Amino acid sequence: MDNKQPIQVIGGGLAGTEAAWQIAQAGWPVVLHEMRSVSAGQPQHLTPAHHTDHLAELVCSNSFGALASDRAAGLLHTELRKLGSIIISKADEHHVPAGGALAVDRGVFSRNLTETLAEHPCVELRRGEVPVLPKDGIVVLTSGPLTSAALTESLHQFTGQDYLSFFDAASPIVVGESINREVAFLASRYDRGEAAYFNCPMNREQYLAFWQAICAAEQAELKDFEKETAKFFEGCLPIEEMARRGEDTMRYGPLKPVGLFDARYGDFRAPENQQYRPYAVAQLRQEDKAGKLWNLVGFQTNLRWGEQKRIFQMIPGLESAEFVRMGVMHRNTFLNAPELLHPTLQFKQRPTLLAAGQLIGTEGYTAATAGGWLAGTNAVRLAQGLEPVVLPTTTMSGSLFEFISSATPKHFQPMPPNFGIIPDLPQRVRNKRERYGVYRDRALADLMAWIADPSVYRQTVMVSQ
């Protein structure tokens, strides 16, 4: 390696895995630190949300969001494919049917990424906690919202700031064979893509009984520090919190019946079939490639496990559901990025320290991947003596990092990819779907021009190993 000083990447989640790959692919040595490990077949140093020591383990859902490029997540997927993302490449390779979404067999996905990075000649995968921020060299911090207490304190000492906090949650998973196929039906909303979801229809009486049961259910007891900082992030709202917000809140959220038709009763849109139209629908999305496990979509929860089983089996079609994982909930934390970071993802007070992932207030798997790509790319550019890059703000990725680095610090909250943060078009397009298509076309055109510009992105040359 010509005595090059390795770049340190702390955290082996989606952002850290992507960052390490981009550094290694440029021919620069990288040490990827991951606290989680397995010794003698037993997990060691796992977090409250993780179950394995694999890199890029998905803990909340197996879906990266919408595939269509005129949707925010789908546009971000497309941008990352053009930028050579290892995460999106492996997601495409290990996808499972999910209608219009990019969902993966999460076990195979994370194992393959772990093996791929471990085999790269420029990557050293080092197991063990990093308790203190390294003082020297180029460092990429991707330790995530469940950063260890010691590293959290080190980061606090460095920034002089406390974290902000919110709650994240994971939905229950059931065995596919235990779903009652006489009640549940396979379909995707508005018949988009393949019939990829099991749909459990409820009539009004069933829904109201379900709603009342959730509102009266017993929650798991929160720890003292969680009670003090409980802020539910709207993108991953617990089902019981939705229920408490009103009788119809769930029906306008994860139990929305619109666009779901059981072909066994004919077209629900036909006047003679209106009697079969469901009042609410609970959906299950395929979790693994074989279709043996199914995720109860939108049912992230903090209910006690016994309550979950009792109440969720009230859903028609899940009367005998076998749960292989109950819903869980944990505290997440993030930095006040507008005060601390440039849009290059460098810390303002230390340009050789970069950060990415949920830690910086981006929300979602694909956003974490995009941050890892940018932080890894800029880390290796710094090592090569090149200027860090900023992605075009007309792209989904560029607008996201512009937002998290320039939002009002006092009111900063995590931000998912969305078209609301992209600069306006020169001329307004009234139809929303058409407008998103124009946003996409402009974003991809600008990204391809940026990639091709020899004065910008292409200065990051491959270095011979």
Q: What is the pLDDT of residue 210?
A: 97
What's the CA gap between 102 and 90, in Å, rounded? Answer: 11
Decide which of 3.50.50.60, 3.30.200.210, 3.90.226.10, 3.60.15.10 is the CATH code for 7-163+335-459: 3.50.50.60
Task: Tell me how far the alpha carbon of residue 318 is from its chain's centroid.
Answer: 27
Name the pLDDT band for 230 (thresholds 50, 70, 90). very low
Listed by start position, the domains of the chain span 7-163+335-459, 170-328
Q: What is the pLDDT of residue 48?
A: 52
Residue 415 backbone dihedrals phi, psi, to 5 degrees: -125, 125
Average pLDDT over residues 154-159: 91
Supply the pLDDT for residue 464.
34
Confidence of residue 235 (pLDDT cuts 50, 70, 90): low
pLDDT digits (tens, 9 = 90+) for 407-456: 888 777 778 888 888 888 898 888 878 999 999 999 999 999 999 987 77
Instruction: Give the CATH fold of the 170-328 domain.
Output: Elongation Factor Tu (Ef-tu); domain 3 (2.40.30)
pLDDT band per the 50, 70, 90 thresholds, residue 149? confident
**H or E element that contains 374:** helix 365-383
Write the CA distances from 462 to 24, 107, 281, 380, 458, integer angstroms.
9, 31, 51, 10, 10
Report the C-alpha dihedral over residues 420, 423, 428, 434, rounded to 10 degrees: -60
- Mean of the per-residue pLDDT values of the chain: 87
Arithmetic mean of pLDDT, 150-159 = 91
How high is the pLDDT of residue 226? Answer: 45
Its pTM stands at 0.74
pLDDT band of 363, cuts 50, 70, 90:
confident
Compute the distance between CA of residue 181 and CA of residue 332 in angstroms, rounded to an integer. 37
In the predicted model, is pLDDT for residue 244 greater than 70? Answer: yes
> 63-115 pLDDT, tens per residue?
999 999 999 999 999 999 999 999 999 999 999 999 899 999 999 999 999 99
